[in-house]
Amino acid sequence: MAPAIQITTRGGLSLQESNHSMTQSFQKVRALTGMKDVLPDSSAQWEALEATVREWLASYGYRNMRTPVLEHTRLFTRGIGEVTDIVEKEMYTFVDALNNEQLTMRPEFTAGMVRAAIEHNMLYDRPHRVYTMGPVFRHERPQRGRYRQFHQIDVEALGFAGPDVDAELIVMLARLWKLLGLKDIRLELNSLGQGDERAAHRAALIVYLEKHKDVLDEEAQRRLYTNPLRVLDTKNPAMQEMANNAPRLFDFLGSESLAHFDGVCERLHDAGIEYRLNPRLVRGLDYYNLTVFEWVTDRLGAQGTVCGGGRYDGLIELVGGKPAPAVGFAIGVERLLDLCSQSGDQAAPPECQIYMIHQGPEAQRLAAQLAEPLRDAGLNVIVHAGSAGFKSQFKRADASGATVAVIIGAEEIAAQAASVKWLRAQSGEDQPQQETIAFERLVTELKLKV
C-alpha cells in the first residue's frame, strides 16, 4: 500500500535556513484543502447537536469513550481491509521519523474502538454499549459533504449478538432524526450473511463479472478477484445495469442468516419504522456481516448517506481479541448538520445575556467585580474590554445579542445604582425599558428579569 502522504515529524530546516526565511515576508497560511474551520456562529449549531446526541445516547445506556487520533497503520489495513477505498487510497499514513513507526490518522472509529476494548479487556465479563465523537481523516476529493477532515458520531454495541440490538440501534437513530426535526431521511437495509454464504455468492459473482468484463472499469477489473462484492458498490453510471442484474448475495443466505434478518425486520415493524431492502448495499468496509444499513436523504445532492452501520461479528477476533459479536454505526456530522440547517431556525444564539458598559477606570473595575456574582447566579455576562465611548460600547452590547446593558459611570457610582437598559422592546411595549437598580439588588433583580 502506498501511503497517501509522506511527512517527517521534524521540520528539517537548518537554523541558518530558518533565520533566512524569517527575514522574508511571511506567506499567509490557509487551512488545508478539505479541512474546515468551524467559526463561532456555526459552532453553536455543533454544540447544540452534540448536547442532543449525548442525551439521546444516555437514554439508551450508551457511555462515552475516547481513543487516539493516531493508530498503527496495520490496525486499519487489517481491520478495514486491504482492498477498500479507505485503505487503498484515502488514509493519511506516514512514518513517524522519531521512532520509525508507520502510523495512520484514523479514517473511521470502529477499528480503534475495538482495539481499545481488547487492550483494556472490556469484553471480559460483559458486553458494552459505547460511543465516541470527533474528527476522522480521509484523503478524498473535497466537495459538498465530502471533506478530508470530517466528524463522526460513532456508536458501538460490543459483545451483543442481536438481532434485538441491531434493531435497537436503528430505532435509536429514528428517534434522533425525530429529536432533530428531520424529515426525508429513509432507511436502506440488507444482510451480508456469513462467510460461507458470501463465499458461495462470490464464486457466482466472479463468473458473472467475467462474462461482463467489457463494461468493468479499471478499478472493477482490479477488484474482480480481490473484492468482487465491492464492484457492485460502484458509482460508475456505465456499470449500473450490470451491477443491478448481478447475482444477489441476499439470494445466497441460509436459514440462520434469514432468521436474523427477519428478527431485525420484525422489530422495526414493531417500532413503526419503514425500510427498503437494498440487496446492493454492501458498505465500504470489509468487516461487516449479517445486518448492514444506511440512512439516506435526497436533500444533500450526491453525498446523501448520513449514517451507515452494521454488524461486524468477525472484527474483534480479526484484530486480536477473543471472538465476540458486535454491531454499530457512524453518522457523518457535517452531512447531518447540513440537513438540520435545511429544516430549522439557524439564528446564532446570543453571546451573553448581560453586557456591562462602563465609563472611567473606577467604573471599569467595579463592572468587573459586579459581573462575578451575576455569573454565580447563572447569568452570562460580558464586561466591555478596554475603554471606549458610551456609543461604541452600546453598539457592541447590541451586536452581542444581550438582553440588557448594565451601565456604570460616575453618576451610577455616586448613586450606588446601575442604569439598566433593555436592548429590545419586550412584548406589549413600544420602547425598550430602562431602569435604575441599586448595586446590592442587581443580582436578585436581573436574575428575575433577564
Residues that bind ligand ATP (CB under 6 A): 108, 138, 140, 145-147, 150, 152, 284, 303, 305-308, 330, 332, 334-335
By the 8 A CB rule, do 122 and 115 touch? no
CB of 288 to ligand ATP, least distance (A): 10
CA pair distance 86, 138, nearest whole angstrom: 7
Between 306 and 450, CB nearer to ligand ATP: 306
Amino acid at 295: W
Question: What's the closest the beta carbon of residue 153 comes to ligand ATP, in angstroms?
Answer: 9
Q: Which residue lies nearer to ligand ATP by CB, 170 or 381?
A: 170
Q: At closest approach, how far in Å is the CB of 431 from ligand ATP?
A: 48
Residues 6+ apart with CB under 8 A from 345: none
How many of the other CB atoms lie within 10 Å of CB of 223?
22
Comparison of 32 and 203: residue with beta carbon closer to ligand ATP: 32
| C-alpha to C-alpha distance for 137 and 69, rounded to whole angstroms | 9
- Rounded to an integer, what distance in angstroms lies between the CA atom of residue 303 and that of residue 143? 9
Rg, Å, the chain Cα set: 28
Q: How far is the CB of 307 from ligand ATP (least distance, A)?
A: 6
CB of 80 to ligand ATP, least distance (A): 9
Q: Shortest distance, CB of residue 147 to ligand ATP, whole angstroms?
A: 4
Dist. CA 81–CA 70, nearest whole Å: 18
Q: Which residue, 329 or 355, is less far from ligand ATP as judged by CB? A: 329
C-alpha span between 113 and 315 (Å, rounded):
11
Q: Which is nearer to ligand ATP, 172 or 388 (CB)?
A: 172
Name, in order, each residue with C-beta under 8 angstroms of 66's C-beta and a sequence gap of 6 or more. 132, 134
- The residue (of 138 and 358) whose beta carbon lies closer to ligand ATP is 138
User: Residue 93 is which amino acid?
Assistant: T
Considering beta carbons, is residue 126 or 235 the nearer one to ligand ATP?
235
| Residue 152 Cβ vs ligand ATP, minimum distance, rounded to whole Å | 5
Query: 214, exposed or middle or buried, with CB in 10 Å at 0-12, 13-18, 19+?
Result: exposed
Q: Which residue is nearest to ligand ATP (CB)?
A: 332
